[in-house]
């Protein structure tokens, strides 16, 4: 008996150690899989209504799902074919800006001379041009590396995205079979409760995520319209308006910080192109984004996203930090939607499970 107990204890200890070691080894690889699955679920939630709409027209579900996925692929292909040249042009312009050292130095030097002539003492040192030279040299050397890294990131994103589309297709096609498979694992005692809670969670998440997506899209479109108007009326020469709008839409997923991040590329674009009334144009651009933000906070998000999934600002910041640590910028963008999912899930469980007690 004593020997048996001892053996059992040792067996359990060994098993625990093996499992722990296995988990630790697997976790880094799991992270990629988890990321792909999470994004696939988000995509599935956004696209499911479209597949349902197609199914209304007597199109079989598998075919409906395939059509929707193909449309997404076409949109992505079109987007990439249009955006990549823009990014390349932007990079070239940045390089050219750095290469015009003399002009930049002359401007800075003339500014310093002007200030020195107005001040009683030489308050500003004369080695600023040298520091600017150092900065431009550093950027010249590092820029190719940065672009190379971005290229690799793009390739990785593409392969990951292919997996996302593949998994999303099967989620769309076999939605009910997957749901049945999950429910089959539930014991009878919790069967109806699990089914009810699962339905509620799914419904809430659908409206929440679709609302988020529409809000981001609205911000993007409104930004594009605003910048286009500024360009047209004031001949501002802002470049890459569509690209900036798309970025603003995505950035809007990050509360509080996102709107500011969305405006920065537009301001930089103005500063680089140096239109006649630079200061005025910058103010107008800031005004456009402030107005977009006002629209979003006052009308768009309250209507589309609702408050049932509103997150406390402190939680938002913590979640953004976690997301940023795990997956950088992409993590920050997805952090709030994921936090919303978690809140809805546990909220529904906590609200509805007690109704099935005793």
Partner 1 sequence: MTSVLWRSIGRKEKTREEIMMEALHNVNIFRNLSHKELKEVLDLVYQRVYKKGDYIFKQGHPGNGMYIILKGTIQIIQEKVEGDTKKEEILVTLHSGDFLGEISLLDEAPRSASAYCTELTEVLGFFRGDLLDLLNRKPELGSKIVLNIARVLGERLRVTNQLLAELQEKQQKEDES
Contacts with partner 1 by CB under 8 A lie at 52, 55-56, 61, 176, 180, 183, 188-189, 191-193, 195-196, 198-199, 202-203, 352, 355-356, 358
Q: Considering the complex, what minimum distance in angstroms separates the CB of residue 64 from partner 1? A: 9
Smallest distance, partner 1 to C-beta of residue 182, A: 11
Report how far residue 304's alpha carbon sits from residue 63's, in angstroms, rounded to the nearest whole number. 30
Given a contact cutoff of 8 angstroms between Cβ atoms, the answer to whether 129 and 109 are in contact is yes
d(C-alpha 109, C-alpha 106), whole Å: 5
**Nearest-approach distance from CB 355 to partner 1, in angstroms:** 5
Residue 144: both structure tokens together: 């190719």
| Least distance to partner 1, CB of residue 63, Å | 13
Which CB, 6 or 351, lies closer to partner 1?
Answer: 351
CB nearer to partner 1: pick between 48 and 296: 48
Rounded Cα distance, 272 and 250, in Å: 23
CB of 62 to partner 1, least distance (A): 13
CA distances to 99, 146, 205, 225, 231 from 82, rounded to whole Å, are: 26, 21, 32, 19, 20
Q: What is the DSSP string of 125-176?
A: -S-HHHHHHHHHHHHHHHHHHHHHHHHHHHHHHHHHHHHHHHHHHHHHHTHH
- Nearer Cβ to partner 1 (133/196): 196
Contacts 24+ apart (CB under 8 A), 312-319: 313/255, 313/256, 315/339, 316/255, 316/256
Nearer to partner 1 among residue 133 and residue 206 (C-beta)? 206
- The least distance separating partner 1 from the CB of residue 197, rounded to whole angstroms, comes to 10
Nearest CB to partner 1, comparing residues 145 and 187: 187
Pick 34 or 183: Cβ nearer partner 1? 183
């Amino acid at each position: 008996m004593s020997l048996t107990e001892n053996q059992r204890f040792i067996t359990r200890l060994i098993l625990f150690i093996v499992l722990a070691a296995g988990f630790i080894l697997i976790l880094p690889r799991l992270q990629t899989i988890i990321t792909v699955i999470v994004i696939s679920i988000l995509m599935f939630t956004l696209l499911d209504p479209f597949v349902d709409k197609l199914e209304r027209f007597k199109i079989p579900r598998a075919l409906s799902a395939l059509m929707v996925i193909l449309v997404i692929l076409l949109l992505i292909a079109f987007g990439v074919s249009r955006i990549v040249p823009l990014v390349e042009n932007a990079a070239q312009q940045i390089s050219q800006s750095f290469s015009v050292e003399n002009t930049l130095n002359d401007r800075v030097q003339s500014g310093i001379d002007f200030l020195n002539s107005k001040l009683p003492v030489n308050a500003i040192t004369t080695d600023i041009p040298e520091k600017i030279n150092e900065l431009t040299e550093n950027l010249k050397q590092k820029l190719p590396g940065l672009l190379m890294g971005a290229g690799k990131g793009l390739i990785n994103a593409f392969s990951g995205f292919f997996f996302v589309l593949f998994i999303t297709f099967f989620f769309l096609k076999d939605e009910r079979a997957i749901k049945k498979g999950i429910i089959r694992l539930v014991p009878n005692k919790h069967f109806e409760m699990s089914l009810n809670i699962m339905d509620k969670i799914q419904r809430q998440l659908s409206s929440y995520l679709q609302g988020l997506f529409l809000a981001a899209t609205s911000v993007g479109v409104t930004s594009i319209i605003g910048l286009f108007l500024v360009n047209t009326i004031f001949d501002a020469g802002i470049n890459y308006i569509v690209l900036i709008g798309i970025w603003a839409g995505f950035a809007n997923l990050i509360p509080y910080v996102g709107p500011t991040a969305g405006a920065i590329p537009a301001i930089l674009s103005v500063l680089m192109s140096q239109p006649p009334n630079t200061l005025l144009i910058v103010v107008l651009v800031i005004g456009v984004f402030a107005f977009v933000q006002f629209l979003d906070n006052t009308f768009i998000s309250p209507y589309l996203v609702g408050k049932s999934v509103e997150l406390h600002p402190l939680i938002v910041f913590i979640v953004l930090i976690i997301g940023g640590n795990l997956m950088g910028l992409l993590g920050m963008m997805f952090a709030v939607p994921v936090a919303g999912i978690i809140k809805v899930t546990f909220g529904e469980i906590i609200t509805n499970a007690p109704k099935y007690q005793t």
